[in-house]
């Protein structure tokens, strides 16, 4: 059972380049989200989705774009990379509403460095 799969695991970009972090889950979860993890700041929510075709912004959405065309996939796009986006990115999913909301299943992370 794969769970939540993120690719790539590591990426180095130059300032201004764009890229997409991929996230796929095979648990038929309605809710998917992207977090970034930075030292001393914990995890901060970038974007989330409550189902196919529905996305919304989290705490730190600027510079990122998302879409949810299928239940399984939730890619995160960096439009024009900046050094401030150097971070570890985590995709997470859950069954959705109520008591299931906070039970997140995480991918292994994608470490991004922007030069």
Partner 1 sequence: AQSVTQLDSQVPVFEEAPVELRCNYSSSVSVYLFWYVQYPNQGLQLLLKYLSGSTLVKGINGFEAEFNKSQTSFHLRKPSVHISDTAEYFCAVSSTGGYQKVTFGIGTKLQVIP
Q: What are phi and psi of 101, to 5 degrees?
A: -60, -50
Q: Which is nearer to partner 1, 28 or 42 (CB)?
A: 42
Q: Where do the H-state alpha helices sit in the chain?
A: none
By CB under 8 A, what part of segment 23-82 binds partner 1? 30-31, 33, 35, 40-45, 48, 50, 58
Token pair of 41 as six digits: 């700041």
Of the listed pieces 12-20, 61-69, 78-86, 99-107, which binds partner 1 according to CB under 8 A?
99-107
* Nearest Cα residue to 77 out of 18, 13, 36, 25: 18
Q: 48 - beta bridge partners?
A: 33, 56
Q: Please, what is the minimum distance in Å from the beta carbon of residue 76 to partner 1?
A: 15
- Summarize as ranges the residues that interact with partner 1 (CB under 8 A): 4, 30-31, 33, 35, 40-45, 48, 50, 58, 90, 92, 96-99, 101-104, 106-109
């Amino acid at each position: 059972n794969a769970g939540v799969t993120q690719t790539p695991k590591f990426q180095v970009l130059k300032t201004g380049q764009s890229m997409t972090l991929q996230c796929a889950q095979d648990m038929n979860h309605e809710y998917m989200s992207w977090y970034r993890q930075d030292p001393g700041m914990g995890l901060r929510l970038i974007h989330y989705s409550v189902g196919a075709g529905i996305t919304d912004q989290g705490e730190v959405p600027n510079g990122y774009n998302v879409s949810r065309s299928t239940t399984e996939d939730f890619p995160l796009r960096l439009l024009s990379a900046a050094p401030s986006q150097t971070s570890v990115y985590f995709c997470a999913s859950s069954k959705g509403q109520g008591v299931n909301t906070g039970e997140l299943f995480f991918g292994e992370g994608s470490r991004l460095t922007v030069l």
